[in-house]
Chain A
Amino acid sequence: MTLVQTRTDGASLVDGYRAVAGDAPMRALEALARSLRGHRIAMVNSTATGGGVAEILHRLVPLLNELGVPTTWEVMSGDARFHGITKTIHNALHGGPGTLSDADIEHFLATNRRAAAELALDGDLVLIHDPQPAALAELRRTRGQCWLWRCHIDLSRAAPDVLDFVVARVNQYDAAVFSHETFVPPLATPGFLAPPSIDPLSDKNRELTEAEVDDLLDPYGLPAETPLVTQVSRFDRLKDPLGVIEAFTLARRREKAHLVLAGGSADDDPEGAAVLAEVRTRAGARDDITILDLPPDAHLVINALQRRSAVVVQKSLREGFALTVSEALWKRRAVVASAVGGIPLQILHERTGLLVRSVEGCALQIVRLLRDAGLRRRLGREGREHVRDNFLHPREARDYLAIFAHLLARASTSRAG
């Protein structure tokens, strides 16, 4: 078991977030943290590096400590077999193939039992992330503790057998938190919704100067004078990259522009590689389309690309939450996106962006935005404010603290009753 050490550079995260999220919301967060004085939070997940959860915890844990709520973060360990089983669980929860044998279940529970014996769990408020350590509540709960399970994944297409196994673990918690309502399975324990959030201080979202943007994009040879229309998404059919090319082709009949499809590396994903090949074939030799297969750590390039784009598109056929939309809005970009998954929470139609339902609708709105800089500015301005108020890390920290405060108040009421 590993106690994760976070941040040592000494800069105040509270001050950093105050500078971008505003003083009043940060004072509210500080007041909420004061109301939890005397409590300690222990968090557990399965990895200290790589993946979105670890990224969030590297910010959240020091932020909570700085706010005066002592918080520790431990990583549970497991052998190769355990990680194979949790990979099967992960894939099955995402709707992929996979079942658990009795032996798999026993190994999963045995690994959680060992973790339950070894983890310090130095807190009366325990926040467990994702399915790997989900059995800890039934194995380690002590009197007076509040246990909260945070699900960061989309369970809407989960394989029933595996979902049932996970739900039986989750029902041992005082509450569970999900990113979107469509991810919430039937539960015996109370469920809450807390949308995911972006980090305005990270390389992917921090402010860049024009010179930095130029330097970062220089190697890709993008046209300097032509407005960019960009979709940033992994190469996946559900992100509809071919539909984006189709919509762009229609839009190009009316306005000059250059399409950039930027996605993550598809090396370890056979389907991704196939989709990337299809996209390359469809784009052919066109000089108004650039396809970028970027490495996973190309955060600054993505940041620069979004900032340089006149229009950002997210024409998904199906979505989880689609935080790339918030990333673009945070950079004051005009966004055209499908009305699926968590996108309508981020895009308020005609206020913070434009929602579309078809290829033609997407083309229409791209043209409209390319022709109207004022509209782009207005949507971008409102979009940034919407993200500031709803989709930055301090709001996610606030939600966790509020849920714990609610659970403590409920426990106190039931003791008094």
Chain B
Amino acid sequence: MSARQGFELRHVVHLARPLGRRAGDLEQLRAELLAAPIDALFHHAVQYQLRDPGAEQLCPDDLSAWIGGVVQDAETAERLSFVVQGAQASPETLRAGMLEVLEAVPAKRRAERDAPEGSAFQFHGSVTLSFPTGTVLGEAHEVVDALLEADASVWFFHLVEEPWNTGGRAPLIEWLAARREERLAGWLAEAAASGLPIDKARARVLQRWRRSHIGRRLAEAALTPGAERREAGRQAIANLVRRTPRPERDS
């Protein structure tokens, strides 16, 4: 991609489609996973990140949530969750990782660890619909603000879904690299793969980005009039106060 071209940011919506495949216990889950289409792996073990972008901790993927919450096999759920978070490189890596966890449970026990009636795991496929945000990035430094202000789906589409689809670097990362912003590109890629909820991953990049610009901002601030500096200070304090959490009401 040319460094001169702008980069259009896009939202994404995922439509879930029923596949009519279900698993009532861990053995059936293993058998279904062997043949599950890639869009089902995406829906249950990648796209889940977008459903709770503001969570304190990354919520479990659908399979781990079902094993932990419905089957109530906490150990297998934890192990699967850990593997899913670290195996997003390709559909087959993910599938192999999940199967390995399930196959570590002896076959007889897999069949015994079942769900109550009416609570079988239902496999869904996923249809991706992306559409423009209306924001076209001209300069690399615009990326951080744009990704922070946009809906979480923009981050997810460019930094999680596109690499999953291409099996390599995301077009946004390539675009940044073409503009010699390898460091920012690396931070974004690292944050997207960090296993943090999207809002926390975005905050991490923002923090690094701001730190990296402290020197430049200080130099710029030194050239501004005193009144402007004082106003900027007041604004900073006001922002800090606004962001301080307030005690919550309980029952």
Contact = CB atoms under 8 A, between A and B. Distances in A.
A227 B131 contact: no
B69 A347 contact: yes
Interface string A316-331: 0011000000000000
Nearest to B120: A182
A340 B129 contact: no
B52 A398 contact: no
A101 B212 CA distance: 76
A349 interface: yes
B54 to A, nearest CB: 5
Contacts of B150: 24, 27-28
Contact of A349 (B11, B65, B122, B152): B65
30 contacts: A27-B150, A28-B11, A31-B131, A32-B13, A35-B131, A181-B18, A190-B17, A191-B18, A193-B16, A193-B17, A193-B124, A194-B16, A227-B251, A308-B251, A319-B118, A339-B70, A339-B116, A340-B116, A344-B66, A348-B52, A349-B70, A350-B68, A351-B59, A376-B250, A378-B56, A385-B52, A389-B52, A389-B54, A398-B13, A405-B131
A309 interface: yes
A184 interface: yes
Interface residues of A, number: 59
A24 B151 contact: yes
Nearest to B66: A344
B145 interface: no
A181 B124 contact: yes
Contacts of A376: 250-251
Interface of A: 24-25, 27-28, 31-32, 34-35, 178, 181-182, 184, 186, 190-194, 227-228, 307-310, 318-319, 332-333, 338-341, 344, 347-351, 355, 357, 373, 376-378, 380-382, 385-386, 388-390, 398-399, 402-403, 405-406, 409
B189 to A, nearest CB: 22
Contacts, number: 134
Given A357-B72, A385-B55, A398-B13, A184 B18 contact: yes
B132 interface: yes
Given A192-B17, A309-B251, A318-B118, 9 more contacts: A31-B132, A31-B134, A184-B18, A307-B251, A339-B69, A348-B60, A351-B59, A386-B55, A405-B129
Given A348-B59, A349-B68, A406-B129, A340 B118 contact: yes
Contacts of A182: 118, 122
